[in-house]
Amino acid sequence: MIAYARNGHTDKFGIPRQSREGSPILTRIVFEPEYRVAEALRGIEGYSHLWLIWGFNTTDWSPTVRPPRLGGNKRMGVFATRSPFRPNPIGLSSVRLVGIENGDLIVSGADVLDGTPIYDIKPYLSFSDSHEDARNGFAEESKGYRLEVTGDRDSVPESIWRDIEYILSQDPRPGYQDDPAREYKLDYAGWTVTFVVEGRKVIVRKIEKNS
């Protein structure tokens, strides 16, 4: 491990299922003392995007998994998915480099839990890492999927609400759950959000600051 992630995702529920361009959520990459060397970041400011190689906190694996966007009822091969239940629990995320602050990297679009170990960081190269004719397989169904978010948010700081609204718009529920009467609770950055989902709309019923 060379670093660890710091952000508001203190619970697995609500973490984006993929790294996303355009996400407002910022993650700080904090280097371990051995790797907290200014020279190691020399030239990194010239890149707009980076690859993060990181670790899932799970040791179980399965040859088939149930992707959330397929309703959680259809099995696919683990190597045809980005499921965390892998033979080697290694994650890969493409993120935008927002800046460098006190020796830390500030990135947006990371799909990681607070405290996630970072194993390596590499530049994203548009001429080799992007493929115009790439196909998305069954994941194409989730492309552009977003929900409308409504509800009372007067007590929440603007920056926190911006992040919460984005998380809820991505529909954090398990794919097999679609009960409009069911209340869900989401913890983010010291706030607990209670919400329901009716069709393509998220209704926030309550937001409370954790004590």
pLDDT at site 141: 64
154 plus 187 within the same structural domain: yes
38 plus 83 within the same structural domain: yes
Average pLDDT of the residues in 153-160: 88
Q: Are 62 and 78 in contact (CB under 8 A)?
A: yes
Q: What CATH number did the domain enclosing 37 receive?
A: 2.40.30.70
Is the pLDDT at 149 greater than 90? The verdict is yes
High-pLDDT (> 70) share of the chain, %: 96
| 136 is a domain residue | no
The count of domains in the chain is: 2
Average pLDDT of the residues in 108-133: 95
pLDDT at site 144: 60
115 plus 153 within the same structural domain: no
pLDDT at site 142: 62
Is the pLDDT at 78 greater than 70? The verdict is yes
User: Last residue of a domain, which of 94, 129, 164?
Assistant: 129
User: Last residue of a domain, which of 73, 100, 129?
Assistant: 129
pLDDT at site 190: 95
Q: Using pLDDT thresholds of 50, 70 and 90, give the confidence band for residue 143.
A: low
Q: Using pLDDT thresholds of 50, 70 and 90, give the confidence band for residue 154.
A: confident
The candidate with the shortest Cα–Cα distance to 75, out of 62, 91, 59, 87, is: 62
29 plus 86 within the same structural domain: yes
Average pLDDT of the residues in 67-93: 86
Find the range with the poorest average confidence among 4-8, 38-42, 54-58, 165-169. Answer: 54-58
What are the tokens at 145? Answer: 């999927």
Q: Count Cβ atoms below 10 Å from residue 61 Cβ, excluding itself.
A: 14
Provide the phi-psi class of 20: left if phi over 0, else alpha when psi is between -120 and 50, else beta.
Answer: beta
| 135 is a domain residue | no
Q: Using pLDDT thresholds of 50, 70 and 90, give the confidence band for residue 22.
A: confident
**Which domain covers residue 57, as residue numbers?**
3-129
The candidate with the shortest Cα–Cα distance to 81, out of 33, 20, 142, is: 142
113 plus 172 within the same structural domain: no
61 plus 118 within the same structural domain: yes
Sign of the CA dihedral with 53 first, then 54, 58, and 59 last: positive
Average pLDDT of the chain to the nearest whole number: 90
- Rounded to two decimals, the pTM is 0.89
